[in-house]
Chain A
Amino acid sequence: MKKPSLNVGQKNQKEVKALVLSKKTAVGIFFVGTLSSLILFLILTVDTHRQVNVLTKAQNLSEEAVQGKRVWQKYNCNDCHTILGFGGYYAPDMTKVYTRIGKEGIRQRVKNPEKVLAKSWRKMPQQNVQDKEIENLIVFLKWVSEIDTHDWPPQDSNKLPSSSIRRMIATVGISPGGALFKEKGCFGCHKIGGIGSGAGPALDGVGTKYDAETLARYIKEPAAVNPKSSMPSLSEVSKDDAEQIARFLAGIK
């Protein structure tokens, strides 16, 4: 390295030191950095608490759902499955499992994993979960599926045709209800899987809101089920046809 003459060197060093950083500035950076971030974080934490009940629909967080969360923790489900994307990555995410496979799907998998997953190359343990616990777990998972996650996870987003809609498309050729839905012109007002008109509400996931019986009544006489509905009562649709369509719609979850 070249050695500059002593005087110049000392002068440079002093200048450089002044330019670089004094201890006082360093301590200042520490306090300003830490405190500003901390204050912002705490303010947003308070605000998150204010908003979270709406975002998570806490009014539906029943005692059964809370008991279901205890079941979820008791059997350490979360070290294989993720939920809201956190946990083990060994098994499917449970955020939208309720809309994906429904009550019965969950019940069967927890009760008889060895049978349901007999052909899967990855297994789920038989943990002898009691029936009451399974029912609570289902209530919990139903509540979780309604949390506003900003449309996460993408695989269950309505932007992608959901698995139940894909199944519906695969079976529509053999489903009398699906054929009737098209024949009676329901697509004229409703969308399913992005297909149809947007005049009325989209029917994706309608099966999670109503059962087949309610849907049949809805089709015949909307105001009887939902007084706010602007749907006309369809007297030309026979009772039998309405029931067929309702069964088809109830399957869209």
Chain B
Amino acid sequence: MEFKSQKVAYPYFALALLLFVLQVLMGLWLAINYFVTLPQGLVDVFPFATARAMHTNLLVLWILLGFMGGTYYILPDETKSELYSTKLAYLLFVIFAVTGVVALVGFLFGWTQGKPLLEIPVPLDIVVVIGVLLFLFNVGMTMITAKRWTAIQGSLLGGLVFLAVMYLFGIPFYRNLSIDWYYWWWVIHLWVEGAWELIAAAIFAWVLIKITGVDRAVVEKWLYVEIGLFLFTGIAGTGHHYYWIGAPRYWLWVGGIFSALEPLPILLMVIDTMRHVKDRKLEIRRPMVWTYAVGGAFFHLLGAGLWGFAHTLPQINYYTHGSQVTVSHGHLAFFGAYAMLNLMVFYFAMPNLVGREDHSDCRGKFGFWTMVSSMFCLGLCFGIAGILQAYLERVLGFGYMAAQEQMRLWFMIAFFCGLGFLVGLLVTVYDLFFPKPIQEVQAKKVVAQAVA
């Protein structure tokens, strides 16, 4: 770690990991809701809706904390200068943490805007907006004073500004439900298939340069193509959410065509990653960063690219829209595209931040494979449940609960996949905070050899 101000990232990463664990715990509770009959008294005070609001908001909060921490960690290295203000960065951490806690506790008491994923009420929205503006100010001033512009900085700053602007569309009360959903997707879709992809691509490119030693010029050139394709397919691809909301029929064409192309930039990213890995000029010193970089690229393609493609055509979406198929896609995509990217950054930064650069990867590998396989099975469970739902409810015309009865078994299996995921996550979190020194491993080997 060359720059002192990179340390700011630590509390962001630490809180993000804690919230990730909470998110998974809340997810397990949601799974229980799906297959167990809970007493009415419990449902009255802690309904599914509240738990879901917490589950999804924890996701958004920890991913964004990861992005912010990641930005603070990358920026000094990328601009070759300290952050504009570390004090502001710490202050903002406190603001975001407090806002998050207030929002989560507020949900328990029914303090909500009542819009899925954007439940936090308007007063807290205003705090978030001010916080994000100050964050952008800090990031922008660091870049401006350093005056060492790169494509990575551009993509990062562009993505962050884009993210902040889109958030505004979720704040007002819309009288017309169709318009409400129209702009709700400006936040959700243009985040995950626009702004977040820009941030992720920038962070990913930076890590690739760092670990492979491949020429910046080559990486940045492909970064332009990737984000160009992400935005080309992603912006008009928003149309795949407008098929059935009371919008004109041409969205079926626009959404269908553009979103069918959405896997392309992700595929390019995978090919690109593999090529850089092949052409690497540095030896592999941080195996977990590599594992998450390559694993993340593939899981991104699987969860966001293929799973999204599978039900994006209007002819299919007519039957799968609003079913558990969406849940399957949501889990695989968020994990593959953003959770794994953040974990890659954590594995890059945390050993430096806790002062143990060389560390054993055995726990990390265990965590990685446990999480990846559990999440894959979880996606399959939701996917099977979703196909059952689409066929029974939408094709055969079963009543909602009659179809749910047939899906019940798969929710139970999903719960156990979630438990597996939790185990992998806990090992990973422990490993990130307390990396195992490599000497210990070697010492054990020496002892083992001596004994033999």
Interface residues in chain A, defined as those with a beta carbon under 8 Å from any beta carbon in chain B: 21-23, 26-27, 29-34, 36-38, 40-41, 44-45, 47-49, 51-52, 55-56, 58, 61, 66, 69-70, 72-80, 82-93, 114, 120-127, 144, 147-150, 152-155, 160-161, 163, 166
Contacts of A88 in B (CB 8 A): 48-49, 52, 116
Indicate which residue in B112, B176, B252 contacts A61 across the interface (CB closer than 8 Å).
B176
Contact at B254–A83, with CB atoms within 8 Å? no
B137 on the A face (CB < 8 A): no
Minimum C-beta distance from B41 to chain A (A):
9
Given contacts A44-B254, A70-B173, A154-B319, contact A160 B115 (CB under 8 A): no
A23 CB → nearest B CB, Å: 5
Contact residues in B for A44 (Cβ distance below 8 Å): 236, 239, 250-251, 254
| B232 touching A37, Cβ below 8 Å | yes
**Assuming A40-B236, A75-B114, is B33 touching A90 (CB within 8 A)?**
yes
The residue in chain B whose Cβ has the minimal distance to the Cβ of A21 is B221
Of chain B, the residue at the smallest CB distance from A69 is B177
> What are 25 of the A-B contact pairs (CB < 8 Å)?
A23-B221, A23-B224, A30-B225, A30-B231, A34-B227, A34-B231, A44-B251, A52-B176, A55-B178, A69-B180, A70-B173, A73-B112, A76-B119, A79-B119, A83-B177, A86-B184, A88-B116, A90-B52, A148-B246, A149-B244, A149-B245, A153-B322, A154-B394, A155-B398, A166-B397
When the two chains form their complex, are residues B178 and A56 in contact, meaning their CB atoms are under 8 A apart?
Answer: yes
Closest A residue to B49 by CB, please name it.
Answer: A79
Contacts of B227 in A (CB 8 A): 30, 34
A70 to B247, CA, bound (A): 22
Which residue on chain B has the smallest CB distance to residue A50? B248
Of chain A, the residue at the smallest CB distance from B392 is A155
One of B53, B179, B221, B246 near A149 (C-beta < 8 A): B246
Determine if B399 is an interface residue (Cβ-Cβ < 8 Å): yes
CA distance A153 to B394 in the complex (A): 7
Known contacts A26-B222, A52-B246, A87-B116; decide if A122 and B181 are in contact (CB<8 Å): no
When distances are taken between beta carbons in the complex, the residues of chain A under 8 Å from B34 are 90
* Contacts of B231-267 to chain A: CB distance below 8 A: 231-236, 238-239, 242-252, 254, 258
* Nearest CB on B from A206, distance (A): 20
Beta-carbon contact of B401 and A120 below 8 Å: yes
Answer whether A29 and B229 are a contact pair too, CB < 8 Å, given A84-B181, A89-B324.
yes
Select from chain B the residue with minimum beta-carbon distance to A126: B44
| Pick from B114, B251, B398: contact of A73, CB under 8 Å | B114
Q: A21-B221, A80-B48, A90-B33 are in contact. List 14 more A-B contacts (CB 8 A).
A: A30-B224, A52-B176, A61-B176, A69-B177, A73-B173, A76-B49, A79-B49, A85-B322, A88-B48, A123-B43, A150-B252, A154-B319, A154-B395, A163-B397
> Across the interface, do A37 and B399 meet the contact criterion of CB distance under 8 Å?
no
Check B326 for interface membership: any CB of A closer than 8 A. Answer: yes
Q: What count of chain B residues pass the 8 Å CB interface test?
A: 78
Q: Which of B201-245 contact A (CB under 8 A)?
A: 217, 220-222, 224-225, 227-229, 231-236, 238-239, 242-245
Which B positions have Cβ atoms within 8 angstroms of A? 33-34, 37-38, 40, 43-44, 47-50, 52-53, 110, 112-116, 119, 173, 175-182, 184, 217, 220-222, 224-225, 227-229, 231-236, 238-239, 242-252, 254, 258, 318-319, 321-324, 326-327, 393-395, 397-401, 404-405
Contact assessment for B49 and A147 in the assembled complex, using a CB-CB cutoff below 8 Å: no
In the assembled complex, the Cα of A82 lies from the Cα of B322 at a distance in Å of 7
Query: Are A78 and B115 interface neighbours, CB within 8 A?
Result: yes
Q: Is the CB of A90 within 8 A of B48?
A: yes
Which residues of chain B have C-beta atoms less than 8 A from A41's C-beta?
235-236, 238-239
* Cβ of B176 to closest chain A Cβ, rounded Å: 6
Given contacts A21-B225, A26-B225, A48-B182, contact A147 B53 (CB under 8 A): no
Chain A residues near B405 (CB, 8 Å)?
Answer: 121
**7 cross-chain pairs, A with B, having the tightest CB-CB distances, nearest first:** A73-B114, A85-B322, A33-B232, A79-B49, A30-B228, A152-B244, A33-B228
CA–CA, A31 and B254, complex, Å: 20
**CB atoms of A33 and B319 under 8 A apart:** no
Q: Is the interface of B mostly helix, strand, loop or mixed?
A: helix
| Cα separation A36 to B236 with both chains bound (whole Å) | 9
CB < 8 Å neighbour of B397 from A51, A73, A122, A160: A160
Which residues of B sit under 8 angstroms from A144, Cβ to Cβ? 177
Query: A22 vs B86: C-alpha distance in the bound complex, in angstroms?
Result: 38
Q: How far is the CB of A84 from chain B (nearest CB, A)?
A: 5
- B224 and A114 form a contact (CB under 8 A): no
Pick the contact of B50: A22, A76, A150 (CB < 8 A): A76
Chain B residue numbers with a CB within 8 Å of A27 are 224
Given A26-B224, A30-B224, A147-B178, A152 and B321 touching (CB < 8 A)?
Answer: yes
The smallest beta-carbon distance between A151 and chain B, in angstroms, is 8
A40 to B236, CA, bound (A): 7
CB contact between A155 and one of B47, B178, B397 (< 8 Å): that residue: B397
Return the contact of A121 from the options B37, B53, B324 (Cβ within 8 A).
Answer: B37
**B231 with A33: CB separation less than 8 A:** yes
Question: Contacts A30-B224, A152-B321, A155-B393 given: A123-B38 contact, CB under 8 Å?
Answer: yes
Q: Which of B113, B232, B401 is close to A122, meaning CB atoms less than 8 Å apart?
A: B401
Contact A86–B322 (Cβ < 8 Å): yes
A55 to B176 alpha-carbon distance, docked (Å): 11
CB-CB under 8 A from B47, the residues of chain A are 76, 80, 125
Q: Which of chain B's residues has its CB closest to A87's CB?
A: B116
Q: A73-B114, A88-B48 are in contact. Are A56 and B232 (CB under 8 A)?
A: no
Chain B residues with CB below 8 A from A125, complex form: 43-44, 47, 49
Structural contact, A47 and B177, CB atoms closer than 8 A: no
Distance, CA A85 to CA B178, complexed state (A): 11
Q: Which A residues are in CB contact (< 8 Å) with B173?
A: 70, 73
Please indicate the chain B residues that have their CB under 8 angstroms from the CB of A78 in the complex: 49, 114-116
